Amino acid sequence: MTEFDAVYYDGRTSARKPVRVRGYTLVIQIVGEGLRLDVPLGKVRVDPPVGGTRRALHLPDGAQLQTDDHAAVETLFPRAHALEGWVHGLERRWPYALAALAVTAVVAWWSVVDGLPLAAKIVSGFVPVAWEAKLGEQTLEFFEGRLCRPSALGAARRQALQQRFARLTAGLADGYSYRLLPRDCRGVGANAFALPGGTVVMTDALVKLAQSDDQISAVLAHEIGHVRHRHGLRMALQAAGLAALAAALFGDATSITSLATTLPVALLQSGYTRELETEADDYAFRRLRKIGLSPKAFAEIMLLLEKDHKKRSGGDSRNYFSTHPATAKRIERALAAP
Amino acid sequence: MALPSTDRGAPASVAGSEKRHAVEFTAHAGEYFRIWIVNLALTVVTLGIYSAWAKVRKRRYFYGHTRIDGESFEYRGNPLAILKGRLIAVALFAVFYAIGHYAPLYIWAVYLVLLFFGPWLVVRSLAFNAYNTAYRNVRFAFSGTYATCLGLVLGYGLLTLVTLGLGFPFLRRRLVQFAAVSHSYGRTRFALDEGFKKPFVRPYFVVIGVSVLLGVMLAAFFAVMIVVAGAPKPGAGVPAWMSTAMIAGVVAFYALLFLQIGYIKARTVNAVWNHLSVGPMRFESVLRARDLIWLYFSNFVAVVLTVGLATPWAAVRSMRYRVSKTTAITSDPLDGFAQAEAQRVNVAGEEMADFFDIDIAL
C-alpha cells in the first residue's frame, strides 16, 4: 500500500482541501475533512512527469489531486506514459542532456552542409518544368520596365548573339524553352541572369564589356547551367529549409534575441549560392568544350567583370557578403578545366 | 531537488483586510536546460514532428513552476492538437513564402489574406491557451470574438495609416484591453479599469518624441559635416567620416532598439497589470525599465556568445524577473472566490473543447 499527502480540488470551485491518499492494487482512497472517496485506479488519469513540477491526478467528474510525492505516483502508475516517461528519464540526467546536445549539433551541422541541399535537389525534381516557367515569367514581369528596357544594340548584333545562344542550347532536350533576352539595364551593369524555366537576360553593358563573342558564350553557358540544374528553385527551397531549422533551434529565444540569427543565416545562404555558382561554372566548362569553345574564354570574361565591378564601386572592393566564389579561384578552375 | 511542500503558502502580509501573495517562479536554469536540449534533439531527429510534444513539456515546466499562494499553474494543451495546428501553419507559410518569392506581383493578396486571417489566429490562439490553462483545477477562458478583433484591427489600423503611425499606441492599447477583458478565470471575468489608458500610451509618445529629436540632430550633424568637410563627389566613393558615422549610426540604432523595447515593455506591462482585477484579486506590477533593458541586452549577448545554448537560462531568468516584480492582492481568501461562480464554467468549457482543439503558434 502506498500512502501520500495531496491536495484535492473538486473541479467545481477553486477551494483546496488537504487530503491523505491511500493507494491499493485496484483503487485509491481519498480521505480528508468531510471527504471520503474511493476511485478505481483505471479511472485515474495521470499527467506525464515534467521536471520537478507537481503531479496532477485527474479523477472522474473533473476533480483533481495534486501532490509533490513523485515516488508514490510512480509506484501507483508505473507504466502510465511510455514515451514521455522515457523522455523524462533523459531530461533528468546530465550525460543524456550532453548527448542530446551532441546529437543536435551533429544533425544541425549535417543538415546545413549536406541535408538541406540534398533535400532541395530531391524536392525540386518533383516540380514540373511548366511550373518553373510560370515562376520565371512572374519574376521577369517584375523587373521588365522597372529595371530593364529593350536592348539598344543593333538588329544584326542581336541576331548574331541569338545564334550563339541557339548553338549553346541546341539539342539539350531537357524540357526547358530557352530564350535569350538582350536588355538595357542601366543600374545593373555588365551582368546576365537566368530565370527559372529557361529565360536568360543579358545586359547591353556585358556585350560592350566582352572583348570577343566567345566570352559572351561563356557567360551564357554559365546561366544555362543555372536553368538546367534548377538553381532558382533549389535556392528558394534551401532558404526556406534554413529558416525552418533556425526557427526550430532558436525559436525559443525572445524576438529581440532572434535578431542575432539573421546574420548567420545570411552567411550560410551566401555559402549555398557559392556552391550553386560552382556547379553552374562546371556545367559551362563542359558545354563550351562540347561545342568547340575553350573554357579560357570564361577565365577572360571573369577577369574583365571583376575589373568592371571594381571600377563601378569606386575602387572599394571590400565585399563582405560576396555571393560568388572568389574570382581568382573561378579563373583558376576555368583554366584547369579538362 | 527540494520542492516547496503543498502547504507552503507565500509569506502573506496583511494590510487592512487585504492579503498580499507573492508570485513565485521556482524553475531552475540547469534543469530547464536539460529539458530544452533533450526536446530539441528529439525535434530535429524527428524532422520537427516531436516539436508539438516539446512545446507542451516546456510549457508545462514553466506553468508548473509559477505559483501564486503556493499553488501552481497547469498547462493542459494536447500535443496532437498542437501538431495539427502546426502542420496547417507550415502549409500556409509555405504558400505565402512561395508567393512572396516567385509571384511578388501578387504579394498584396497575401497581405489581404493575412489582414483578415491574423485576427482569427489571435482569437483562436488566445482561446486555446486560456482554455488549456488551469489554476487550482479551475480553467481560464477567453470569450473574445473574431468580429470584435477584426473590427479593432481594421478601425485602428486605418487610424494608424491616416496618422502616419501616431495611432499605433492606440491600436495596441485597444487590442490589449480586448485581450484582457475577454479573459475569465472560471466564471469570473477579468476587468481592466480605465486608469490604465494614460500610462499605457505615454511611453510610446516619449519614444516617438525622442526619436524625432535624434533624427533632427542626425540631420543637423550631416548638414554641418557636409559644410565643413565638403559634399562627397560622385564616383569618388564614400568619405571616411561618413562611413564611420554610418557604422556609429547602425550601432546606435540597435542600442536604441533595446532601450525602446525595454522601456515600452516595462511601462505598458505595469500599466495593464496595475489596473487588472479578477473578482476579489488585483495585481501589482513594478517592472523597472532599466532592469528590463539590462535583462534583454545581457540575454542577447549571452545567447549570441553561446550560439544559442544560453536560451533556456535567458528564458528562466526573464520569467523569474517578471514574476518577482508581480504581487497578487486579495480581499477574500482564494478558496472562496471562485466557489460560487466557478460552478457553471466547466460544463460550458467542456462543450467548447472541440472548438479549441487547434493551436497555431504566433
Q: What is the pLDDT of residue A99?
A: 96
- Contact between B6 and A249 using a beta-carbon 8 Å cutoff: no
pLDDT tens-digit map of A142-171: 777 778 888 888 889 999 999 999 998 888
Cβ of A53 and B72 within 8 Å? yes
CA angle B310, B315, B317 (to 5 degrees): 95
Region B70-79: mean pLDDT is 90
pLDDT at B203: 95
Residues of B whose CB is below 8 A from A93: 34
Q: 3-class secondary structure for chain B? A: CCCCCCCCCCCCEEECCEEEEEEEECCCHHHHHHHHHHHHHHHHHCCCCCHHHHHHHHHHHHHHCEEECCEEEEECCCHHHHHHHHHHHHHHHHHHHHHHHHCHHHHHHHHHHHHHHHHHHHHHHHHHHHHCEEECCEEEEECCCHHHHHHHHHHHHHHHHHCCCCCHHHHHHHHHHHHHHCEEECCEEEEECHHHHHHHHHHHHHHHHHHHHHHHHHHHHHHHHHHHHCCCCCCCCCCHHHHHHHHHHHHHHHHHHHHHHHHHHHHHHHHHHCCEEECCEEEEECCCHHHHHHHHHHHHHHHHHCCCCCHHHHHHHHHHHHHHCEEEEECCCHHHHHHHHHHHHHHHHHHHHHHHCCCCCC
Q: With beta carbons under 8 A apart, name residues in chain A contacting B305.
A: none
Cα→Cα distances A307→A322, A329, B142, Å: 15, 15, 64
- Rounded to 5°, angle at Cα A233 from A228 and A234: 85
Contact A250, A132 (CB under 8 A): no
Mutation pick from A252, A268, A313, A316 vs chain B, by most beta carbons of B within 10 Å, is: A252
CA A228 to CA A121: how far, in whole Å? 12
Q: Does the distance separating the beta carbons of A260 and B304 come in below 8 Å?
A: yes
> Alpha helices, DSSP H only, in chain A?
70-76, 82-92, 94-110, 116-124, 129-143, 155-169, 204-209, 213-228, 231-250, 255-258, 262-290, 296-312, 327-336
Cβ separation of B237 and A316 shorter than 8 Å?
yes
Neighboring chain B residues of A244 at a CB cutoff of 8 Å: 48, 90
Side-chain half-sphere of A275: how many Cα atoms within 13 Å?
19
All three cell numbers of A258: 532572434
Neighbours of B263 (CB within 10 A): 20
Evaluated on CA atoms A229, A233, A237, A238, the torsion sign reads positive
User: A2-92: what CATH class?
Assistant: mainly beta
| 3-class DSSP assignment, residue A57 | strand
* Phi–psi pair at A121, nearest 5 degrees: -65, -45
Cα-based angle B293, B297, B303 (whole degrees, multiple of 5): 145
Chain B hits for A147, CB-CB cut-off 8 Å, are: none
Whether B38 has a pLDDT exceeding 90, the answer reads yes
Return the higher-pLDDT residue of B333 and A136: A136
**Residue A56 host element (H or E):** strand A55-58
Of A10, A14, A104, the CB nearest to B334: A14
- For residue A315, list chain B residues with Cβ-Cβ distance below 8 A: 237
User: Could B38 and A90 be called an inter-chain contact, meaning their C-beta atoms sit closer than 8 Å?
Assistant: yes
Residues of B with Cβ-Cβ distance to A68 under 8 angstroms:
3-6
Determine how β-strand A179-184 pairs with β-strand A199-203: parallel
Considering only A267-271, B215-219, B290-294, which range has the smallest mean pLDDT? A267-271
So what's the pLDDT on residue A63? 92
CA triple A65-A70-A75, angle to 5 deg = 95
* Tens digits of residue pLDDT in B57-72: 999 999 999 999 889 9
CA distance B273 to B271: 6
Which chain B residues are within 8 Å of A260, Cβ to Cβ? 300, 303-304
Give contacts of B101 with chain A, Cβ < 8 Å.
236
Closest residue, chain B, to A104 (C-alpha) = B41
Report the residue of chain B nearest A83, measured CA to CA.
B53
pLDDT above 60: residue A295? yes
Would you call B335 and A249 a contact, using CB atoms and an 8 Å cutoff?
Answer: no
Task: Give A-chain residues touching B337 at CB under 8 angstroms.
Answer: 14
pLDDT tens digit string along A204-226?
999 999 999 999 999 999 999 99
Cβ within 8 Å, pair A68-B6: yes
Mean pLDDT of A94-102: 96
Does residue A234 contact residue A121 with C-beta atoms inside 8 Å?
yes
> Of residues A298 and B101, which shows the higher confidence score?
A298
Residues of chain A with CATH 2.30.29.30: 2-92
What's the pLDDT tens digit per position in A28-46?
999 999 899 999 988 999 9
CA distance A9 to chain B (A): 6
Q: A160 to chain B, minimum CA–CA distance in Å?
A: 32
- Model pLDDT, residue B342: 37
Across the range B273-285, mean pLDDT stands at 92
What's the mean per-residue pLDDT of chain A?
86
- The answer to whether B315 contacts A68, with C-beta atoms less than 8 Å apart, is no
Identify all chain A residues contacting B37, using CB atoms and an 8 Å cutoff: 97, 100-101, 104
Strand-pair partners of A194: A200
Model pLDDT for residues A225-272, shown as the tens digit of each residue:
999 999 988 888 888 888 878 777 776 555 555 566 676 777 787 788
Contact A253/B38, CB-based, under 8 Å?
no
Judged against a pLDDT cut of 60, whether residue B39 lies above it is answered with yes
On chain B, the residues whose CB falls within 8 A of the CB of A64 are 137
Q: A267 vs chain B: nearest CA distance in angstroms?
A: 15
Helix (H) or strand (E) holding A184: strand A179-184
- Whether residue A314 is predicted with pLDDT greater than 60 in this model: the reply is no
Distances (CA, A) of B1 to A7, A48, A277, B73, B114: 21, 18, 56, 20, 47
Across A138-147, A326-335, B138-147, least confident range: A138-147
The answer to whether B64 contacts A50, with C-beta atoms less than 8 Å apart, is yes
Q: Which residue has the cell 477553486?
A: A14
What is the tens place of the pLDDT at every residue in B42-61?
Answer: 999 998 889 889 989 999 99
Note whether B160 and B168 are within 8 A (CB).
Answer: yes
| Residue of A50, A83, A260 with shortest CB distance to B300 | A260
Q: Per-residue pLDDT for B139 more than 70?
A: yes
Q: Is the pLDDT of residue B339 over 60?
A: no
What is the mean predicted confidence (pLDDT) over B223-243?
Answer: 71
The shortest C-alpha distance from B148 to chain A (Å) reads 27
**What secondary structure does DSSP assign to A116-180, as a single string?**
HHHHHHHHHTTS-HHHHHHHHHHHHHHHBTTTBEE--S-HHHHHHHHHHHHHHHTT--SS---EE
Identify whether the C-beta of residue A24 lies closer than 8 Å to the C-beta of residue A39.
Answer: no
Q: Specify the pLDDT at position B80.
A: 85
> Would you tell me the crossing angle of helices B240-273 and B168-181 to the nearest 10 degrees?
30
Residue of B nearest to A132 (CA): B102
Please tell me the pTM assigned to this model.
0.81
How far apart are the C-alpha atoms of A150 and B127, rounded to whole Å?
A: 56
Residues 6+ apart with CB under 8 A from A207: A153, A157, A161, A182, A216
Q: Please tell me whether residue A53 adopts helix, strand or coil conformation.
A: coil
Task: Please state, rounded to an integer, the average pLDDT across all residues of chain B.
Answer: 82
Residue B93's contacts (CB-CB under 8 Å, 6 or more residues apart) are none
Lowest mean pLDDT among A272-276, B3-7, B325-329: B3-7
Residue A73 has pLDDT above 50, yes or no: yes
Question: How big is the A-B interface in CB pairs under 8 Å?
Answer: 198
User: Does B351 score more than 50 pLDDT?
Assistant: no
Interface mutation target, options B61, B137, B294, B303, chain A, most CBs of A under 10 Å: B137
A8, β-bridge pairs: A17, A65
pLDDT band at B347 (very low <50, low <70, confident <90, very high): very low
The confidence score (pLDDT) of residue A11 equals 84
Strand partners, B23: B68
Contact partners, residue B54, CB within 8 Å, separation at least 6: B39, B40, B42, B43
Cα gap A129→A119, rounded to integer Å: 18
Task: Yes or no: say if A327 and A302 are a contact pair by the CB < 8 Å rule.
Answer: yes
Residue B23 to residue B204: CA distance in whole angstroms: 28
Residue B118 Cα, gap to closest chain A Cα (Å): 18
The answer to whether B67 and B135 are in contact (CB under 8 A) is no
Residue of B nearest to A252 (CA): B311
Q: How confident is the model at residue B215 (pLDDT cuts 50, 70, 90)?
A: confident
Choice between B293 and B114, residue whose per-residue pLDDT is larger: B293
Grid coordinates representing B299 are 540575454
Closest alpha carbon within chain B to A50: B61
User: Taking the mean position of all CA atoms in its chain, how far away is CA A192?
Assistant: 26
Residues in A closer than 8 angstroms to B97, CB to CB, are: 240
Q: Is pLDDT of B8 > 70? A: no
What is the helix (H) or strand (E) element at residue A295, kind and residue range? none
Cβ–Cβ of A5/B136 closer than 8 Å?
Answer: no
Q: What digits encode the pLDDT tens for the residues B144-165?
A: 888 999 999 999 999 999 998 8
CB-based contacts of A50, cutoff 8 Å, min separation 6: A88, A91, B35, B57, B60, B61, B64
pLDDT at B353 over 70: no
Give the residue among A107, A131, A127 at the shortest CA–CA distance from A234: A127
Share of chain A above pLDDT 70, in %: 92
pLDDT of residue A129: 84
pLDDT at position B182 is 92
Give the distance from residue B236's alpha carbon to the nearest chain A alpha carbon, in angstroms.
6
- Residue B125: predicted pLDDT: 80
Q: Would the CA dihedral through B294, B296, B301, B306 be positive or negative?
A: positive
CB contact under 8 A, A248 and B5: no
The mean-pLDDT minimum among A129-143, A283-297, B71-85 falls in A129-143
Rounded CA separation B171/B154 (Å): 10
pLDDT at B354 over 70: no
Interval A262-289 mean pLDDT:
85
Round to the nearest angstrom and report the end-to-end CA distance of chain B.
Answer: 34
Cα of B263 to nearest chain A Cα, Å: 14
Alpha carbons B310 and A327: distance in angstroms, whole number: 39
Q: How many CB atoms lie within 10 A of CB A175?
A: 13
Q: Are A202 and A183 in contact (CB under 8 A)?
A: yes
